[in-house]
Structure 1
């Protein structure tokens, strides 16, 4: 924008921008208002919004310092809009004030364009246009909301915006890298990813099939997702077995991406070391899933997760507390394992942690383990992931009732992913 001012007068450029933005807002309002209310309830057309923007610009440039003319014009415009609203609600029983508020925003565009950077006033216009067009989308979302949805959002805001800043960042036990802040920070990050996956499943991919359920569920918990998919496959038709096996492998693929995000947040050093490994493994699991899915004839009716399973909300205080307790337990185990058994004991612990939720163990490694080398931390994280994949494979076999039609897909798919993990881990050790 500064380059344009070098060739054209600033006043001309500002006038063109104000006129263009006001016209765009007016066109958007004309479309929505005609569809919603009809021509008789409009206080003006798209030209009216354009003239409102131009009026705001003229009154602003005549008195840019004191802005008395601009404020006086705003009062007059507000009075006219208020009169229009009174007539509209008394004669036509239309009570919405969105159009009036947007008209006042249009009036304020001129000083915003004249005084603020280009990214800011473009952001204002884009926000107005998007919120105008998304009215019906917001209505649909509100209709889908469960009765306690706002309470769930309040819980997340409470644990992240109220509890976390209040916690001290001092060691609870001398010599152990464990503070109330670090415990709750890990809980907030994992809860945030879980809550995001829940929102995607609930409002974006609500009627999704089994494959999308595996993808979204893997962001939250691959173990829980694989267990649910395995239970459902127990009674699913034979021709859907490949789809269920593929969904389980997609959950594993998303698990690698989830840990990639967590590593990036908590340890840049480890991230720079292991991100190629995690990307390769995520890609490998996805390729194996695609191979299994493409080999079988696809069902015309994709399976859809049960309503109860779709709407289960992972963001609960008891879940957060359980995670926090597990984080403390693994922190103490890691600390004393290093003292009494060294890095060899830590390697063993990494495999044992795979029998449960490995996220607390890995996050504890990321946040510091008493001077352990970054290479050892990265290797232990990879070993824990391999152990967890083996456990997930066992869960898939057990909860599916050991169905023969699914067993070959699980053993072949998970076996390929585990083998690739082992190869990369050996390569990681010997580079």
Structure 2
């Protein structure tokens, strides 16, 4: 048998590690050169060659005595003295207190022990993060200027919800009759809040003045019903019926993705059951929106100024929102249990149509988390029915709140989804 050729056996392992340290140190130094070449700073500790020498110095002093690390520690003290001297001079000459270059130089010095002791992917990730963070100085500053104290409190809430409260809650059912536990209850809130919070941040900070179409896409990740409300009302001020209608349909398209993601999180088996139906519904809604946009572009005689829609969606982590969701979740847990016990499969199918007039997320997550005496196929049909019923509700909202010019587009778009949803549920 012929043994496969391994290029790593050509040279000692230390050779490859030396090359890695040298290349990574050079990259960090080159980034410093690019950064300082466009600035007016005259006091620079070093760039490409200096950082490469620092990395090589750390490598040499580390491999001399890797057991005790005495040479490496002594080198760190000497390098620290040099960096402190440079920093003091920088303060005196330029009144500049930034220490980014100094910290980066110390990290470069530590590359050798990292390469020797840590997985390669971790070292590569570290260097990539350093390079990206250096280039993101201005965008991060601009982003921080947009944030206020309330947003940091909101972020702290989400971290507490997901990282502190959730792991502490028991996962044992509180009742032998209803499969409901505090952990499942809070996990549902965290999952919904996480998706909605991500959409909220994108809408508020990345696309603060997004157009109609982007509002529909991002809003659908948050809440397709709320987005339908907002866009339908906006149609009275914006004379672009096809574009507004397309944005409303796109919000519903994102609803299919959001629910499917939740299904993957809570119950992969049911997710696979609804995947074909949701795939068809998503494609039809997307095609409908694209056709409307194509007609809008084709029929426009003169280009219009882009319309910006401010972020009208509320904060998804408000206590009121979580409370309403929690109440609905508990309510549907109890109601669904007794309906399935009394009427079995037929009962949960009828109930799924009725819940469309409310927030369907608590009902759907309850189905995904709980165990009922019905088949997974029946539960998948219940989810499709709930979505279909909710689409009917959104169509009624859109017609009642919008300008007459979009009514026919809304009726055509939602009617196709409603009829198709009914057919798919029977199939």
TM over 0.5: yes
Report the counterpart of residue 37 of structure 2 in structure 1.
34
Deviation track 1:358-382 (CA, whole Å, cap 9, x = no partner) reads 1101111111143321011001111
Cα distance in 2 for partners of 1:339, 1:276 equals: 28
Report the counterpart of residue 180 of structure 1 in structure 2.
182
1:20 aligns with 2:38: no
Q: Superposition pairs for residues 68-79 of structure 1, below 5 Å?
A: 68-79=70-81
1:271 aligns with 2:245: no
Cα distance in 1 for partners of 2:134, 2:404 equals: 54
Assess if the C-alpha contact under 8 Å between 1:389 and 1:418 holds in 2. yes
Report the counterpart of residue 295 of structure 2 in structure 1.
295
Does the residue aligned with 1:43 lie in a helix, a strand or coil?
coil
Does the residue aligned with 1:178 lie in a helix, a strand or coil?
coil
Report the counterpart of residue 426 of structure 2 in structure 1.
426
Q: Which moved further from structure 2: 113-122 or 321-330?
A: 113-122
Cα distance in 2 for partners of 1:201, 1:172 equals: 38
**Post-superposition offset of 1:93:** 0.3
Report the counterpart of residue 43 of structure 1 in structure 2.
45
**Post-superposition offset of 1:165:** 1.8
Q: CA RMSD in A?
A: 1.5
Consecutive unaligned residues of structure 2, counting only runs of 5 or more, are: none
Assess if the C-alpha contact under 8 Å between 2:61 and 2:71 holds in 1. yes
Report the counterpart of residue 320 of structure 1 in structure 2.
322
Report the counterpart of residue 127 of structure 1 in structure 2.
129
Assess if the C-alpha contact under 8 Å between 1:211 and 1:246 holds in 2. yes
What is the TM-score with the length of structure 1 in the denominator? 0.94
Assess if the C-alpha contact under 8 Å between 1:183 and 1:324 holds in 2. yes
Cα distance in 1 for partners of 2:326, 2:39 equals: 50
**Post-superposition offset of 1:208:** 1.6
Report the counterpart of residue 225 of structure 1 in structure 2.
227
**Post-superposition offset of 1:3:** 4.5
Report the counterpart of residue 306 of structure 1 in structure 2.
310
**Post-superposition offset of 1:37:** 4.5
Consecutive unaligned residues of structure 1, counting only runs of 5 or more, are: none
Report the counterpart of residue 260 of structure 1 in structure 2.
260
Q: Which moved further from structure 2: 196-205 or 346-355?
A: 196-205
Cα distance in 2 for partners of 1:354, 1:45 equals: 62
Cα distance in 2 for partners of 1:155, 1:36 equals: 39
**Post-superposition offset of 1:85:** 0.4
Report the counterpart of residue 9 of structure 1 in structure 2.
12
Assess if the C-alpha contact under 8 Å between 2:229 and 2:398 holds in 1. yes
Assess if the C-alpha contact under 8 Å between 2:357 and 2:390 holds in 1. yes
**Post-superposition offset of 1:289:** 0.5
In structure 2, relative to structure 1, the CA distance for the partners of 1:115 and 1:5 (3 Å cut) is farther
Q: Count the aligned residue pairs.
A: 419
